[in-house]
Amino acid sequence: MKVLVLNSGSSSIKYQLFRDQDWVAIASGLVARIGEAEGEIKLNWLDDQGASHSSQESLPIPTHQAGIDRIIRSLRESGVLTDVAELAAIGHRVVHGGARFKHPAIVDDSVVAAIREVIPLAPLHNPGHLAGIEVARALFPSVPSVVVFDTAFHQTMPPTAYRYAIPESFYSEHRIRRYGFHGTSHHYVAKRAAAMLGKPLDQCNLITLHLGNGASATAIRAGQCIDTSMGLTPLEGLVMGTRSGDIDPAVLIYLCKHLGFDADALDRLFNRQSGLVGLCGVNDMREIDQLAAAGDERAELAIGLTTHRLKKYIGAYYAELGRVDAIVFTGGIGENSAEIRRRACEGLERLGITLDAEANDSRASRGERRISSASGEVKVLVIPTNEELEIAQQSRLAVMG
């Protein structure tokens, strides 16, 4: 059987098709610019001999329904899918599941209603996910749709970690609390870390650092999340590509009172114009590394602030956990930037965290690897994330009951 994973946004749908006997992704692609005059369709696939192919087309894709139709047609034409009856499940990524979803769920009307209900908490994401879910259900009623939530892995946090210290009614009446995001990635790398450590996940204490354009840190005790850096929305926590991360809320009050900001202007400032881009004008860490190496002071400050904040979270989560088996770096920056990893771990030798400089710097190494020195009590691991695979596997498990 096969599992199709859809990540449906407001104007694009990313997808991957997995074969469930060996979990190889036999096709992946993108339908973009839905609703615009000219849409874009990209497909990569493997043939029976394992050779890779790709195709690209431009044509109008007026709706999500047309987009998903095109995806299935492309998969059929390339020969990777003969019939939709081969699909054991369609797994959908959903950013926000509120407090209700601790696990993946097979989609029915009540699940759709629950995802709709938390739209105010994820206005940029959940409507696009819902469009994809509803079209998949309508087009393929015989194939179960499963939703896998970015928030689910974090629902084991205790109230001391998920509540804000504001009056109780904001929590009980308006659900204002910390939810956490990137959960699918944190869960995936935690499982891989346990395999690398040779221990069951429920015996592992881990700090997982997902550092991409969005970034978050998670403290995992005995395999379960006990704290994470993102909050009500993905804005809280680490310094990110375009988001500020932690900030004194009084800055918002000041901007409203003295500089005429309103809610939309605050949203733009802190979600789109801050973080790395706000500090140095660029949000691609490769470019920032080059600028800093050439003496650009703003780029150097951006790297300094990023690693200073990271180190604070490593220290805080170490204190919460008491004992740490491994720290895991993942995401585009975590997997690729030796400099960010070096500076985040620098000076933590007394905590048992010591990098092997050669293993950390090696450009030849790819894939899962240990970068801590043999003497370091805490293992430091680089583990490429694979959220789509995690969604596919969780979806398959959900339909097997």
- The residues annotated with a catalytic role in the active site are 150
Q: Which position among 53, 116, 174, 286 is part of the footprint of ligand AMP (CB under 6 A)? A: 286
Burial bucket for residue 213 (CB in 10 Å: 0-12, 13-18, 19+): middle
Count the Cβ atoms, other than its own, within 10 Å of residue 374: 7
What part of residues 236-255 is at the interface with ligand AMP (CB under 6 A)?
A: 241
Judge contact between 288 and 276, C-beta under 8 A.
yes
The DSSP code for 144 is P
The token pair at 287 is 């470019």
Query: CB-wise, 333 or 380, nearer to ligand AMP?
Result: 333
Q: Which stretch binds ligand AMP (CB under 6 A): 9-17, 75-83, 151-159, 330-338?
A: 330-338
Between residues 213 and 365, which has the closer beta carbon with respect to ligand AMP? 213
User: Is there a contact between 2 and 81 (Cβ–Cβ < 8 Å)?
Assistant: yes
User: How far apart are CB 333 and ligand AMP at their closest, in Å?
Assistant: 4
Nearest Cα neighbor of 353 from 305, 310, 386 is 310
Name the residue nearer to ligand AMP (CB basis): 14 or 221: 14
The answer to whether 165 touches 177, Cβ cutoff 8 Å, is: no
Question: Judged by CB under 6 A, does residue 331 bind ligand AMP?
Answer: yes
Tokens of 113: 């209603």
Residue from 12, 145, 307, 336 that binds ligand AMP (CB under 6 A)? 336
User: What is the smallest separation between the CB atom of 135 and ligand AMP, expressed in angstroms?
Assistant: 26
- What is the chain's Cα-based Rg? 22
Question: Quick one: 144 or 212, whose CB is closer to ligand AMP?
Answer: 212
* Residue of 67, 231, 278, 332 interacting with ligand AMP (CB under 6 A): 332
The reply on whether position 337 binds ligand AMP by CB under 6 A is yes
* Smallest distance from ligand AMP to CB 283, Å: 6
Q: Which stretch binds ligand AMP (CB under 6 A): 76-84, 101-109, 283-291, 303-311?
A: 283-291
Closer CB to ligand AMP, residue 14 or residue 396? 14
Tokens 């989560």 map to which residue?
Answer: 317
Report the C-alpha gap between 233 and 235 in whole angstroms: 5
285 counts as binding ligand AMP under rule CB under 6 A: yes
* CA nearest to 330, candidates 190, 150, 153: 190
Smallest gap from residue 161 Cβ to ligand AMP (A): 25
Is residue 320 classed exposed, middle or buried when 0-12, 13-18 and 19+ CB atoms within 10 A define those classes? middle
d(CA 89, CA 107): 11
| Contact mark string toward ligand AMP, 167..206, x via CB under 6 A | ----------------------------------------
Please tell me whether residue 232 binds ligand AMP under the rule CB under 6 A.
Answer: no
The yes or no reply on residue 11 touching ligand AMP (CB under 6 A) is no
Shortest spacing between CB 148 and ligand AMP, in angstroms? 18
Q: Quick one: CA torsion of 154, 158, 164, 166, rounded to 10 degrees? A: 150
Of all residues in the shown chain, the one whose CB is closest to ligand AMP is 332
Stretch that binds ligand AMP, among 4-12, 163-171, 333-341, 387-395 (CB under 6 A): 333-341
Cα(94)–Cα(117) distance, rounded to whole angstroms? 13
Cα 366 → chain centroid: 20
- With residues binned 3-state (H G I as helix, E B as strand, rest as coil), the percentages for the chain, rounded to 5, are 45, 20, 35
284 binds ligand AMP (CB under 6 A): yes
Which backbone phi and psi does 346 adopt, to 5 degrees? -60, 135
CB within 8 Å of 263: residues ≥ 6 apart: none
Applying CB under 6 A, which of residues 67, 91, 212, 275 lies at the interface with ligand AMP? 212
- Among 109-117, 144-152, 278-286, 295-303, the segment contacting ligand AMP (CB under 6 A): 278-286
Count, residues near ligand AMP per rule CB under 6 A: 12
Q: Which is nearer to ligand AMP, 183 or 332 (by Cβ)? A: 332
What's the CA angle centered on 380, arms 289 and 184, to 5 degrees? 85
Applying CB under 6 A, does 333 fall inside the site for ligand AMP? yes
Shortest approach of ligand AMP to residue 211 CB, angstroms? 7
Largest Cα separation within the chain, whole Å, is: 65
Q: Which residues bind ligand AMP (CB under 6 A)?
A: 212-213, 241, 283-286, 331-333, 336-337
